[in-house]
Chain A
């Protein structure tokens, strides 16, 4: 069975600094997708970034980038130039393609941004 692990329950970062959130996963699939979602206090789930497993190039979205290590089954999120609005719960998620599949979420990392 697929699993997603986020080993950091909480992280803090100074405003304008960089922080990296860790995520590891386990799967026997070769084709899958990985996502980072942000959940602010409003509890709306917001897609931050996604990565296709078949792509070697790490995905980037403005201040957000990932370090995807397929062999190590690691998918970390780097937030550069952290802003107060980045404070939220961040969930790493895994989804497999084809057939009947499901998205598996990690336990989340609460990110605090210090002014």
Chain B
């Protein structure tokens, strides 16, 4: 089956530094990838839609300068949290769509970010 690899699984960083999270589709090409944020015991909140070769589409309220998304190839999308603050601490999950339309999302294992 389709596999999405997300790295790192856990990261601790100091306030003011930047952190990059990678999302790779291992055995399929993903034109579109999605980045979600999940607070404890809550649902997945869509942050942005990442499209290969073009700018990401951000959801309302998500700071595009703070959460930089790059989708440089059909198998890799990255999310960089710039100048991280403790309130950015959260669980971030990427997902990729295999094909379009009737294809379900395949999820990475998520990244637990802790900003101290």
Contact = CB atoms under 8 A, between A and B. Distances in A.
Interface string B87-107: 000010101000011101111
Interface stretch (A16-24, A75-83, A104-112): A104-112
Interface residues of A, number: 23
Majority secondary structure, B binding face: strand
Given A43-B91, A91-B44, A107-B42, A102 B104 contact: no
Given A33-B102, A107-B43, A45 B93 contact: yes
B107 A44 contact: yes
Contacts, number: 53
28 contacts: A33-B101, A33-B102, A35-B104, A43-B91, A43-B93, A43-B109, A43-B110, A44-B107, A44-B110, A45-B44, A45-B93, A45-B95, A45-B105, A45-B107, A47-B106, A50-B104, A52-B102, A93-B105, A95-B105, A97-B101, A97-B102, A100-B49, A102-B46, A103-B34, A103-B95, A105-B43, A105-B44, A107-B42
